[in-house]
Chains A and B, each alone.
Chain A
C-alpha cells in the first residue's frame, strides 16, 4: 500500500526570483503587504531548517516535486542548493516558494523554500548564504541528495555539516558502494559529527521486523544461537541496503567477521565467529528485479531441529516468511511503501542519534574492509 503521506493538502506559491539579500523580505511579504491579505497565509508554524544539496538541475527538479510532501509532514524552511560544478558561472541566484496548507481557514504556511543556484566559481560562497538564511532556535538538517558519500564533497560538506544537527544521505545507487560506505562509516565513527541517517537503512524496516519476530525465542527457541548461514539477495542498486541488513544482524547477534571474499555472481561472502559457532553470510546481487532486498535465507535450528527461514519480498511493502522444517504455513507482514520524500519527512524529526544504525554501519565497514 502506498504510504499515506500526501502532498495534496499543500499548495505552493512561487517561485519568485529574488536577490539573496531580499529573501527574508520576500518571505515576509504575505504578512506585511496590504495587497497580499486576500487568501494569504495568516500563520507560520515551522519545525526546522532543511538544507538540501543537489549537484544537477535534474536532482533539483526531483526534490522540488517531493517538497510538498516533506513540508506537509515537517513544516520547514528549506534551503535548496544547486551546487553545479559543471557551470562556470560566478553568480548566485535565488528564488522563493511558499507552501501553505489548503483546506484550513487560516491557511497556515507550512513551508518556505529558497532555491539557491551556484556555479563552480560560487560554490564556496554557498555556506555563507546558508548561514544568513537559517532560522534560529530551530533544528537544522542537511539532506545530501546527490549520490556520493557526503564526506567526499570536501569543504562544502564540512561547512554545511557544521551548521546541521542531522545529516541525511542515501547510499542507494552509489557508484562505488563499498569504498563510499567505508568513507561514511569512518566519518560517522569519528566523533563530534551530527546525527547521521542513511535512507537505505530506513527502507528495510519491514525486514528488520519480520526477521526479529520470526526468530523470537518465544516462537523459535534457540534459533538465534544456532544460525549457521544467512544469504541475502538484492536487486540492482540495493547493495548497501543488503549490506546494512547483514551488518545489523551480525552486530545484534554479536558476530565477529573473520574474513570475506568476492565471488563471481557478483556475490560477497564472509565467515563470522559467534559464541556458538561460525556462521557464514552471503550477499548476492540479482541482475534484475526490484531495487530492494529480494530475499533472506536463515539456516538455523529450533529446539535442535534444522529449520530454514525463507523471507521473501512478495511485492512492494510485502514480505513473507516460510519456516521450512518448523511449520507448513507462509505468514506475511505488510507495511506502507515509503517514497523517498516520505522517508525523509519521517527522518527529519528524529533528532536522536541512532546507535543501532551507527553500530550496524561500523560492522558493515569491518565487513567491507575484509573484502577490499
Chain B
C-alpha cells in the first residue's frame, strides 16, 4: 500500500499509481559501479518521465575524493553508457543540477557531520522537508558502521511522525543465517522494519510482477496450480557470464548464496505461494513467507542426494575459448566455490505435496535465460496417448523472466491429414511483441516504490531469515563434508552430468532452453 502521511486531495485519483514523496536520496557508495550502471541512470529515466517530485535531489557519499562537478560527470558517463533512454542535453541540464556529492569515510563521524550540513543546504535549496532515503550501495562489512553513524548523527526520524527516513539495503543480506540475523538486528537498532527496504532487483522485473497476475488473474490456471495437475516445476537461472570483476565477492559467496538464497527463492515463492487476500505489501509478503516456511529442509545426506554443486572449467562459449573458474582473475587456484547448483526441493503443504521443484543456476552456461516452467501431468494413456514409444508431450507453461519476457504454453494438436497424428504446438506470448512500450526498468520501479513507501516488492526481515534458514542446511552439509570433490562442467555447457542424473533418476529431464 502506498503511504500517505498527510492527505493531499489533489493526488487522489491521478493516474500515477505511486506518488513519491519529496526527498533526498543519499547514495552511500555513490562513486561506485552500481551507482553508475543502475542507480543514476534509473533516476535519470524517472526524471525524463516526470515521475520524480520537483522537490528531489541526490547526494552521493563515498570515500573517493570528488566534487559536485566530478560526480555529475560520473553520472553523465553512467547514463550515456547504461541508460535505456539516450541522454538528452536539455533535460540533463536540469537533472544534473539536482546531483551533489560529499566525500567521506563511512566510519568517520566528521564525514557525517559534513554530510548533514550538505543535506540541510540541499533540502533548503530544493524545499525538501527533511525526507531522506539512504541507499547503502556498499560492502556488507561496512553496513553496521554506517548504520551506527546514521543513528549517532541523528539522521533517522521517527517512523510514525516527522520527516521520512528510509534505508535501502542491497542483497545479499548476510552470508548465512547467523550473519543475516546480525545485520537485520543492526538494521533494526537504527531503522524500523517499516523504514527498511531490502532490495532484490529481480522482484522489480515486469515478468516477475506478472506472475501474480498470470496466476490469480486467469481462472483457467489457478484450478490446475496444484499437486493434482502439476507433475513438476523447473526453475532455471542461467548466466553466460563468468565471474568477471566480482571474484572477491563471488569467492566468498558461490552460486547458492548469490542466486538461490535470494532471486530463486523469491521467484519460487511467487510461483508457489497461496493467493494473498489483498495486494497490500504485508499480505503479499506474508504469503511469500508462509511458502518459504513450507520448504522441506535439506540437510545432511539429503544434500548428497538432492543437491549438485559444480564449477565451470575451461570451454567454449559462442565459439570463443573461455577460461575455467580457477583461472579467472582474483580466484584461488584451489577454489572450491560452486558456480553451479542444481537441486530438487519439495514444498510441504497441501497444494504442492509430492511435487518436485527442480532448480538449476550457474555461470558460463550456454545462454542467458531465466524461466520457470510448470509441467502438467500427462493425459491418461487412452485415446491419443496409448503408445509407450511415443507418448504425448505433456503441457508445459513456461514463464520467461529474461530475456524476451513472456510465457509460452505447449499444447497437443492434430497434424492435418487423414490420420490422427498428434504434434506439440508452442503458443508463444512475448511482451515485447505485444506490448510495444518499454516499461520501467527494475531499479526505476523499485526506487519509485521506496520513495512512495510501497514495500510490496522488497524482502521482509522474516522472509530473508527464512530463506537463509533453509539454505544454511546445505551450507552446513557442504562445510561438514570431507569430500573435496567438486564436479566440473565445461564452460558453455548446461552443467555437470551429475545434474542430469539428479533429474533423470526421477524419469524426467531438464528442459532444453
Binding site for B on A (CB under 8 A): 1, 4-5, 9, 43, 45, 47, 72-75, 101, 104, 106, 108, 110, 205-206, 208-219, 224, 249, 252-254, 317-318, 321, 323, 327, 329, 331-336, 350, 354-356
How far does the Cβ of A347 sit from chain B's closest Cβ, in whole Å? 10
How far does the Cβ of A204 sit from chain B's closest Cβ, in whole Å? 11
Most buried by B among A47, A73, A208: A208
How far does the Cβ of A46 sit from chain B's closest Cβ, in whole Å? 8
A45 near B433 with CB under 8 A, answer yes
Chain B interface category by residue count: 35 or more
A110 near B436 with CB under 8 A, answer yes
Question: Assuming the A-B contacts A43-B428, A101-B433, are A208 and B10 also in contact, with contact meaning beta carbons closer than 8 angstroms in the complex?
Answer: yes
Residues of chain B lying within 8 A (CB to CB) of residue A5: 436-437
> Could you tell me the distance between the alpha carbons of A110 and B437 in the complex, rounded to whole angstroms?
13
**A–B complex contacts, Cβ < 8 Å, 13 sampled:** A4-B85, A45-B430, A74-B436, A209-B16, A212-B14, A213-B54, A217-B6, A218-B22, A224-B9, A334-B50, A334-B91, A334-B94, A336-B49
- Is the CB of B13 closer than 8 A to any CB of chain A? yes
How far does the Cβ of A220 sit from chain B's closest Cβ, in whole Å? 9
* Residues 435-466 of chain B, each 1 if its beta carbon lies under 8 Å from chain A, else 0: 11110000000000000000000000000000
Question: Assuming the A-B contacts A72-B436, A335-B49, are A214 and B14 also in contact, with contact meaning beta carbons closer than 8 angstroms in the complex?
Answer: no
Most buried by B among A47, A219, A354: A219
Nearest to B437 among chain A residues (CB) is: A73
B433 near A335 with CB under 8 A, answer no
Question: Assuming the A-B contacts A45-B433, A75-B434, A331-B55, are A1 and B91 also in contact, with contact meaning beta carbons closer than 8 angstroms in the complex?
Answer: yes
B13 near A205 with CB under 8 A, answer no
How far does the Cβ of B448 sit from chain A's closest Cβ, in whole Å? 13
Residues of chain A lying within 8 A (CB to CB) of residue B129: 218-219
Contact residues of B: prevailing secondary structure: loop
> Could you tell me the distance between the alpha carbons of A73 and B434 in the complex, rounded to whole angstroms?
8
Other 4 A-B pairs with CB < 8 A, given A45-B434, A212-B10, A213-B54: A1-B48, A45-B433, A209-B14, A253-B10
How far does the Cβ of A196 sit from chain B's closest Cβ, in whole Å? 15
How far does the Cβ of A98 sit from chain B's closest Cβ, in whole Å? 15
Residues of chain B lying within 8 A (CB to CB) of residue A332: 54, 94
B126 near A331 with CB under 8 A, answer yes
Residues of chain A lying within 8 A (CB to CB) of residue B433: 43, 45, 101, 104, 106, 108, 110
Question: Assuming the A-B contacts A5-B437, A208-B10, are A333 and B54 also in contact, with contact meaning beta carbons closer than 8 angstroms in the complex?
Answer: yes
Chain B, range 160-180, C-beta contacts under 8 Å to A: none
B49 near A213 with CB under 8 A, answer no
Other-chain residue from B9, B10, B88 in contact with A1 (beta carbon distance below 8 A): B88
Nearest to B48 among chain A residues (CB) is: A1
How far does the Cβ of A103 sit from chain B's closest Cβ, in whole Å? 10
B434 near A47 with CB under 8 A, answer yes
Residues of chain A lying within 8 A (CB to CB) of residue B48: 1, 4, 334-336
Other-chain residue from B11, B15, B428, B429 in contact with A212 (beta carbon distance below 8 A): B11
Other-chain residue from A212, A329, A356 in contact with B126 (beta carbon distance below 8 A): A329
B434 near A321 with CB under 8 A, answer no
Residues of chain B lying within 8 A (CB to CB) of residue A354: 13, 15
Residues of chain B lying within 8 A (CB to CB) of residue A317: 50
- Closest CB pairs A-B (n = 8): A335-B50, A356-B13, A212-B10, A217-B6, A72-B436, A45-B434, A331-B54, A333-B54
A219 near B127 with CB under 8 A, answer yes
How far does the Cβ of A80 sit from chain B's closest Cβ, in whole Å? 19
Residues of chain B lying within 8 A (CB to CB) of residue A1: 48, 88, 90-91
Residues of chain A lying within 8 A (CB to CB) of residue B126: 329, 331
- Is the CB of B483 closer than 8 A to any CB of chain A? no
Residues of chain B lying within 8 A (CB to CB) of residue A336: 48-50
> Could you tell me the distance between the alpha carbons of A206 and B15 in the complex, rounded to whole angstroms?
11
- Is the CB of B246 closer than 8 A to any CB of chain A? no
Residues of chain A lying within 8 A (CB to CB) of residue B12: 252, 356
How far does the Cβ of B245 sit from chain A's closest Cβ, in whole Å? 31
How far does the Cβ of B457 sit from chain A's closest Cβ, in whole Å? 22
- Is the CB of B125 closer than 8 A to any CB of chain A? yes
> Could you tell me the distance between the alpha carbons of A337 and B188 in the complex, rounded to whole angstroms?
44
How far does the Cβ of A285 sit from chain B's closest Cβ, in whole Å? 24
Question: Assuming the A-B contacts A213-B55, A219-B22, are A329 and B125 also in contact, with contact meaning beta carbons closer than 8 angstroms in the complex?
Answer: yes
Question: Assuming the A-B contacts A73-B436, A327-B127, A334-B48, are A214 and B54 also in contact, with contact meaning beta carbons closer than 8 angstroms in the complex?
Answer: yes
Nearest to B47 among chain A residues (CB) is: A334
Question: Assuming the A-B contacts A1-B48, A73-B436, A336-B49, are A218 and B9 also in contact, with contact meaning beta carbons closer than 8 angstroms in the complex?
Answer: no
Residues of chain B lying within 8 A (CB to CB) of residue A215: 8, 10
Other-chain residue from A47, A252, A323 in contact with B9 (beta carbon distance below 8 A): A252
Residues of chain B lying within 8 A (CB to CB) of residue A249: 10
Question: Assuming the A-B contacts A206-B50, A212-B14, A336-B48, are A329 and B8 also in contact, with contact meaning beta carbons closer than 8 angstroms in the complex?
Answer: no
